């Protein structure tokens, strides 16, 4: 049973560029949440997708957007990258209607130069 998978593992971009990160939820899960984890900090909630819609959003600017596909996988897009966007981006999945806790993927390490 595959857990949460994320791609790519690492990514290097320059300021002003755009990036897309991908996440496949754990088998049987239908809800995906994205978190940003700066170095030495705890993860911060970006948003959550369920039934292909954004259901809840944290305190992040509109440069951060996402999408969920019919197979429950998800993408996180960040436009106009800033140096401060450098972080580990974590995807977490759950089965919303079962009230399960969130399982986290290994993350994508984004470096903005």
- What is the binding site for other proteins (CB under 8 A)? 4, 31, 33, 35, 40-45, 48, 55-56, 58-59, 90, 92, 94, 96, 101-107
How do strand 19-24 and strand 53-57 relate by DSSP bridges?
A: unpaired
Q: State the minimum distance, in angstroms, from the CB of residue 15 to other proteins.
A: 25
Residues 6+ apart with CB under 8 A from 39: 87
**Which is nearer to other proteins, 20 or 100 (by Cβ)?**
100
**Which is nearer to other proteins, 7 or 18 (by Cβ)?**
7
What is the strand order of the sheet 19-24 is part of?
5-7, 19-24, 74-78, 64-68
């Amino acid at each position: 049973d595959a857990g949460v998978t994320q791609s790519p593992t690492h990514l290097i971009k320059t300021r002003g560029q755009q990036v897309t990160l991908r996440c496949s939820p754990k088998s049987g899960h239908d809800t995906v949440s994205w978190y940003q984890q700066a170095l030495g900090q705890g993860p911060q909630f970006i948003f959550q997708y369920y039934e292909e819609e954004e259901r809840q959003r944290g305190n992040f600017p509109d440069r951060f957007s996402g999408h969920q596909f019919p197979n429950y996988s998800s993408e996180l897009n960040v436009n106009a990258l800033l140096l401060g966007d450098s972080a580990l981006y974590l995807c977490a999945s759950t089965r919303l209607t079962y009230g399960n806790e969130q399982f986290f993927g290994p993350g994508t390490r984004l470096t903005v130069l």
